[in-house]
């Protein structure tokens, strides 16, 4: 939701230890996380926006989530130039590792699926009618009249016993939060998108029914949630679960208010209370009136709740400055303080792609970069016991202040409970152009991990031709933390590159890589997940279509395509604009089989 018309502001800064110069990558291996994904057809081969969490009580057990379209119809179903989201079919993928992230499995459940809709060549076959069958996404949604719509978020917490108390001795519970819409014809809640939470106590063998956690109204589009469970037994609020999310009133059009809300559950995710923690009024300095989004929620060993967000800025040209904010609670989420501006971040909107009405970073027809400055945060809270916590806070985001082709991965830290932070510094390796980033810190506060996606090629002014590839890479870095601060980062892994043009929105109008990456850490290793294009394939026919959309938008001065389909799996803020005259190709006939094959890769790396 970043926008092109901006107003500049001065940067407010506090102190961080300098990062190291570029370091050589090690030979550490990575692995495919989205293991159920086929390499073809599009969009069944499409995954993005990964999340990851490690069970504090069983550090070998790791869970990951993503937007996973494994259950969608093929493009040849119905019109061959149309690759829609199949109505009623979910996209919240789930994966498990019992090997500390070295290998992964993807469970198979039963639910509504479009896998049966492969279609035939030509446009005479009927639209897809989903059936009940095997799915690779969260179960129990269709039975509740719901569709899991992505924006995955995962967190482990303790199980609540029959005595009403939480304890790791009772077992571990994985919470999965995502956006949810209604199965066509059903009305399970008010508004267009809600926040749903489900959980499993047996590493995905069985799942609860999803609970609608957000307090919905008929005009509410809930978006960009993150979840956390208070997982340190030293906390007086141990076991309490928190979800932060952006509440777009007016169903995401930007015409209504947009507060940040925090949901709290004290009974293991069965019931939820809601608190509005920022003003409802939108940021008047942001195009279309959008306010804040991209939140993160964490707790320290004393149970203090920390919520962070980014408030969109405004500028006439180039990247816009906006504050990263912190909101805290000292009573388990019963009350929250006022938002505190920590420092200024600049979005990466140094180029606004008119054909999709969004900011992009890699080139014409590129992947949106709207939430690059949203802060990702972790706290060394000593889980599962809390006894060796340092409560150091680590934060990262991607910043566009240096201009196009110089996007930076920024890092800051606090050892003072957020009362002061170090001056943000750039910590990307060499000339990497940061895209999305996330830090993690070990529970004892000794090791800091950082994962980011980056482009290694410069901004491309054309979508067409072999010289206009956009090489995307996943990078993992490490630093040692002491009482004095966080030391220099060194690179422990660089993944294989891939051409981002091989990714796609379902409407084909632009690339699509989602809005974030993720990391987690134990006392012995760090785990990271990222978007990966190494197994994808560029499609020249789609490149030509995207270029035509761009040229038409430039010539007419109007947006000619949606920013993505109106599904919560991506971003519902975009509204339809006049139709383009450029026509998409028949994908399965015109493109390589691996077109659209974006994957989730990850790695598990021992402490140096």
- For 47-117+139-161+172-183+193-201+210-606, give the CATH class: mainly beta
Concatenating the DSSP letter of every residue in 338-398 gives --EEEEEEE-S-SSEETTTTEEBSSBTT--B-TTTTS-EEEE---TTT-TT----EEEEEE
Residue 453 pLDDT > 50? yes
Please, which pLDDT band fits residue 315 given cuts at 50, 70 and 90? confident
| Choice between 559 and 403, residue whose per-residue pLDDT is larger | 403
This model's pTM is above 0.75: yes
Q: Give dist(CA 247, CA 276) in Å, integer.
A: 9
Nearest-angstrom CA–CA distance, 586 and 588? 6
The structure tokens 């383009």 sit at 580
Query: Where along the chain do its domains lie?
Result: 47-117+139-161+172-183+193-201+210-606
Q: What is the mean pLDDT of residues 49-62?
A: 98
- Phi (first) and psi of residue 272, to 5 degrees: -140, 145
At 241 the pLDDT is 98
pLDDT score of 292: 83
Strand ranges (DSSP E) for 193-258? 194-200, 211-212, 220-229, 241-249
pLDDT digits (tens, 9 = 90+) for 220-230: 999 999 999 99
Q: Which string of DSSP letters, residue by residue, matches 23-71?
A: --------EES-TT--S-STTTT-EEEEEEEE-TTSTT-EEEEEEE-TT
pLDDT for position 249? 85
Of residues 147, 186, 150, the one with CA closest to residue 68: 150
Q: What is the pLDDT of residues 518-557, one digit of tens each?
A: 999 999 999 999 999 999 999 999 999 999 999 999 999 8
- The 10 Å CB-count burial string (b at 16+, else e) for 106-121 is bbebebbbbbebbbee
**CA–CA separation, 187 vs 363, rounded Å?**
40
Give residue-wise pLDDT tens across range 469-499. Answer: 999 999 999 999 999 999 999 999 999 999 9
228-263 pLDDT, tens digit per residue, is 999 999 999 999 999 999 998 876 555 567 899 999
Q: Looking at 13-17, 114-118, 153-157, 255-259, which range is the least confident one? A: 13-17
pLDDT 10s digits, 563-595: 454 344 443 333 344 467 999 999 999 999 999
Whether the pLDDT of residue 13 is over 60: the answer is no
pLDDT in tens, 141-156: 999 999 999 899 999 9
Q: Which residues, other chains included, contact 292 with Cβ-Cβ below 8 Å and sequence gap of 6+?
A: 246, 258, 260, 278, 283, 309, 310, 311, 312, 325
In this prediction, residue 312 carries a pLDDT of 84
Look at residue 517 and tell me whether its pLDDT is greater than 70: yes
- pLDDT band of residue 22 (cuts 50, 70, 90) is very low
**What is the arithmetic mean of pLDDT over 47-66?**
98
Whether the CB-CB separation of 529 and 95 falls below 8 Å is answered with no
The per-residue pLDDT for 318 is 79
Kindly state the average pLDDT of the residues 153-162. Answer: 98
384-410 per-position pLDDT tens digit:
999 999 999 999 999 999 999 999 999
- Residue 324 to residue 309: CA distance in whole angstroms: 6
């Amino acid at each position: 939701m970043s926008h092109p018309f901006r107003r500049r502001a001065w940067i407010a800064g506090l102190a961080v230890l300098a990062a190291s110069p570029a370091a050589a990558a090690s030979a550490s291996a990575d692995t495919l996380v989205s293991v159920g994904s086929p390499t073809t057809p599009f969009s069944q081969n499409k995954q993005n926006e990964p999340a990851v969490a490690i069970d504090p009580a069983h550090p070998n057990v790791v869970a990951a989530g993503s937007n996973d379209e494994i259950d969608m119809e093929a493009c040849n179903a119905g019109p061959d130039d149309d690759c829609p989201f199949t109505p009623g079919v979910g996209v919240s993928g789930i994966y498990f590792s019992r090997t500390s992230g070295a290998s992964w499995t993807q469970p198979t459940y039963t639910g509504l699926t479009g896998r049966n809709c492969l279609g035939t060549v030509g446009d005479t076959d009927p639209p897809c009618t989903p059936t009940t069958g095997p799915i690779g996404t969260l179960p129990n949604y269709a039975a509740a009249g719901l569709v899991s719509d992505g924006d995955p978020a995962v967190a482990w917490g303790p199980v609540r016993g029959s005595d009403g108390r939480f304890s790791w001795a009772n077992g571990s519970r994985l919470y999965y939060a995502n956006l949810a819409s209604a199965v066509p014809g059903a009305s399970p809640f008010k508004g267009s998108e809600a926040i749903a939470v489900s959980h499993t106590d047996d590493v995905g063998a069985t799942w609860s029914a999803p609970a609608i956690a957000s307090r919905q109204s008929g005009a509410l589009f809930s978006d960009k949630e993150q979840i956390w469970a208070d997982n340190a037994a030293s906390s007086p609020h141990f076991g309490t679960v928190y979800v932060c999310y952006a509440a777009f009133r007016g169903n995401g059009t930007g015409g209504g208010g947009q507060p940040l809300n925090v949901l709290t559950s004290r009974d293991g995710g069965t019931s939820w209370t809601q608190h509005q923690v920022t003003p409802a009024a939108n940021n008047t300095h942001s195009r279309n009136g959008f306010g804040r989004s991209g939140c993160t929620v964490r707790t320290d060993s004393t149970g203090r709740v920390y919520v962070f967000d980014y408030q969109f800025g405004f500028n006439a040209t180039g990247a816009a400055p906006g504050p990263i904010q912190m909101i805290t609670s000292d009573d388990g989420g019963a009350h929250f303080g006022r938002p505190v501006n920590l420092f200024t971040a600049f979005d990466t909107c140094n180029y606004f792609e008119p054909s999709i009405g969004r900011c992009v970073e890699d080139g014409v027809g590129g992947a949106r970069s709207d939430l690059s400055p949203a802060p990702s945060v972790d706290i060394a809270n000593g889980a599962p016991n809390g006894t060796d916590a340092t409560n150091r806070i680590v934060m990262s985001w991607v910043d566009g202040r240096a201009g196009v082709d110089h996007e930076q991965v920024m890092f800051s830290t606090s050892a003072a409970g957020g009362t002061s932070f170090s001056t943000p510094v750039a910590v990307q390796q060499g000339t990497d152009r940061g895209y999305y980033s996330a830090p993690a810190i070990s529970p004892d506060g000794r090791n800091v991990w950082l994962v980011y996606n980056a482009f290694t090629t410069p901004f491309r002014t054309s979508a067409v031709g072999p010289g206009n590839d956009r090489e995307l890479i996943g990078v993992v870095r490490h630093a040692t933390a002491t009482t004095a601060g966080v030391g220099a980062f060194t690179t422990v892994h660089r993944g294989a590159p891939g051409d981002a043009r091989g990714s796609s929105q379902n409407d084909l109008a632009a690339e699509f890589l989602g809005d974030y990456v993720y990391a987690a850490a134990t006392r012995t290793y760090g785990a990271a997940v990222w978007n990966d294009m190494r197994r994808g394939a560029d499609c020249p026919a789609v490149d030509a279509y995207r270029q035509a959309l761009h040229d038409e938008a430039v010539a007419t001065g109007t947006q000619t395509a949606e920013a993505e389909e109106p599904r919560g799996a991506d971003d519902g803020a975009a509204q339809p604009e006049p139709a383009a005259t450029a026509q998409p190709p028949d994908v399965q006939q015109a493109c390589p089989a691996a077109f659209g094959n974006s994957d989730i890769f990850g790695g598990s790396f021992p402490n140096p």
